[in-house]
Amino acid sequence: MDDGGTQHSSVESYIASFPHDVAVRLSQLRALIRDMVPPGTKEVISYNIPGYKKPGGGRAYIYFAGFDGHLSLYPIHPQRTGFAKELKPYLSGRATLRFSHDKPLPITLIKKSIKFLIDSYA
């Protein structure tokens, strides 16, 4: 697993730095994001994790990351979403969703969150 000291030059290298089972989950999360972002969105490494910049540049509007026990998706501020109650079991801190490796990814909720983030930065 990536010890945090490796500087990644691509999302592929970031994902490849994890054990196979975690890399599969990261790839699944990446695919969900890539399927939903607008054409022209740029996939980047920022803060040494994968992020997506809206077409035309600017800051990344969605990030994901892998850790020993979970995956994270951010930044999402539940109180602004209209579906905070659904997010509550996955909330870590003020703006991070955390998905434990011992449970299936909540695909429908992740898609809803991605759509909210995309729409918020439109």
What Rg do the C-alpha atoms of the chain give, in angstroms? 14
Q: Which of helix, strand or coil describes residue 81?
A: coil
In angstroms, the CA 67 to CA 33 distance is 18
Work out the pLDDT band at 25, boundaries 50, 70, 90: very high
Judge whether 50 and 44 are in contact, CB under 8 Å: yes
Whole-number average pLDDT of the chain:
91
Average pLDDT, integer, range 4-8: 74
Closest Cα to residue 103, out of 90, 116, 88, 92?
90
11-120 has which CATH code? Answer: 3.90.1150.200
The pTM assigned to this predicted structure is 0.89
